[in-house]
């Protein structure tokens, strides 16, 4: 039985992969319709072993596939009669599940229908045995009315078929890692072309803590990004610049000691990151960058007093950007 399900899972993958033409990654939302084979009813752990699970895992490993979301609507003992709309048994649930994907216009909605084993039974399941002509008629009705029902609430995505599919244009974001250092920050990103975006972020920290500790600063960091797949999804490389004015004291890290340093920082760097789509409006991204910074500073005796000790500059090469951004896509 497990071997049969492995074969079924492989056939599902091969069928879906027929749609995966072209160089761009496709995002998929799949509704699996079927009987006990699809459901994985006789498996020890259907949640991890059912054919739809195996199919989704396989598809996610393909270089031409991006995100894969799915719903397993296999029901043990079901026939094509059970999924007919007029029986009002399983068809309404399938429509509701598919309707949950209606706002995810960046992904292609696929229905995988594998019914027929129970239709051929001599006795038992609803409507069995079904003649070949009746089986064909039922399948045709299910497909036609399923699409007709969804057309009322869902515009079928043509993701990857042409250049007119939806891509986000503008988003705002904030870096969770900076908030952990009490630094307020906000950024925005705007699409310039299919694979280019401009990201601009700003930080502000006005706080002063006990023992005259402070990391007061403001920073602006624009970045031009090139996306390997398309903007606002997947891998990207960036070229960024930065300018900041800082007033830090009594940190006793990185050789700063207990003195106060006041000055400005400017430079540039390169970065790499990856963005995950959570739903139509929310995404997350991780990014790290390295580069150069010129630091011009005045050194003071302590955080409270104003006696100047020294002036100078330093040339820094190392990490210049680290981010775990929470993103909201406006349009």
pLDDT at 85: 83
CATH 3.40.50.720 holds for 170-329: no
* pLDDT band for position 297 (cuts 50, 70, 90): confident
**pLDDT tens, 195-229?**
999 999 999 998 887 777 788 889 999 999 999 98
**pLDDT tens, 125-161?**
788 888 888 888 889 888 888 877 776 655 444 444 4
Q: Which of 109-123, 174-188, 273-287 has the lowest mean pLDDT?
A: 109-123
Burial 54-71 (b: 16+ CB within 10 A, else e): bbbebbeeeeebbbbbbb
Locate all alpha helices (DSSP H) within the chain, ordered by sequence. 2-17, 36-39, 46-49, 51-60, 91-99, 132-151, 176-179
Q: What share of the chain is helix, strand, coil (3-state, %, to 5)?
A: 25, 45, 35
Mean pLDDT, residues 280-285: 90
Mean pLDDT, residues 109-115: 88
**pLDDT tens, 55-76?**
989 988 888 888 888 999 999 9
Q: Which residues pair with 286 in a beta bridge?
A: 274, 324
Q: Is 331 exposed, middle or buried (0-12, 13-18, 19+ CB in 10 A)?
A: exposed
pLDDT at 286: 95
Mean pLDDT of the chain: 82
Q: Look at residue 106 and tell me whether its pLDDT is greater than 80.
A: no
**pLDDT tens, 80-100?**
888 888 888 888 888 888 888
Show me where the domains of the chain are located.
2-151, 170-329
Q: Which residues pair with 327 in a beta bridge?
A: 173, 283
Long-range contacts at 122-126 (CB < 8 A, ≥ 24 apart): 124/77, 125/77, 125/78, 125/79, 125/82, 126/78, 126/79, 126/81, 126/82, 126/87
Residues belonging to the chain: 331
**pLDDT tens, 36-59?**
999 998 888 888 889 999 998 998
């Amino acid at each position: 039985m497990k071997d049969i399900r492995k074969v079924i899972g492989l056939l599902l993958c091969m069928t879906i992969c027929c749609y995966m033409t072209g160089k761009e990654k496709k995002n998929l939302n799949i509704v699996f319709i079927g009987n006990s084979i699809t459901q994985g009813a006789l498996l020890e752990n259907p949640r991890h072993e059912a054919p739809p699970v195996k199919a989704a895992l396989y598809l996610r490993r393909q270089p031409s596939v991006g995100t894969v979301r799915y719903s397993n609507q296999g029901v043990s003992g079901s026939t094509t009669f059970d999924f007919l709309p007029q029986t009002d048994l399983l068809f309404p649930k399938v429509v509701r599940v598919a309707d949950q994907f209606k706002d995810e216009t960046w992904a292609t909605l696929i229905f995988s229908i594998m019914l027929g084993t129970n239709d051929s039974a001599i006795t038992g399941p609803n409507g069995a045995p079904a003649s070949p002509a009746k089986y064909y008629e039922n399948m045709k009705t299910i497909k036609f009315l399923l699409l007709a029902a969804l057309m009322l609430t869902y515009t079928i995505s043509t993701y990857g078929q042409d250049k007119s599919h939806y891509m986000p244009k503008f988003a705002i974001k904030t870096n969770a890692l900076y908030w952990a250092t009490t630094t307020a920050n906000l950024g925005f990103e705007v699409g310039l072309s299919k694979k280019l975006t401009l990201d601009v972020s700003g930080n502000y920290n006005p706080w002063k803590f006990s023992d005259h500790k402070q990391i007061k600063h403001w920073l602006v960091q624009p970045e031009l990004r090139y996306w390997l797949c398309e903007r606002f999804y997947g891998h990207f490389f960036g070229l960024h610049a930065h300018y900041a004015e800082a007033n830090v004291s009594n940190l006793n890290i990185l050789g700063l000691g207990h003195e106060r340093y006041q000055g400005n920082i400017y430079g540039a760097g390169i970065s790499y990151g990856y963005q995950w789509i959570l739903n139509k409006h929310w995404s997350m991204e991780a990014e790290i960058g390295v580069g150069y910074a010129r630091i011009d500073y005045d050194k003071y005796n302590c955080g409270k007093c104003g006696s100047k000790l020294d002036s100078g500059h330093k040339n820094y090469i190392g990490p210049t950007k680290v981010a775990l951004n929470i993103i909201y896509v406006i349009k």
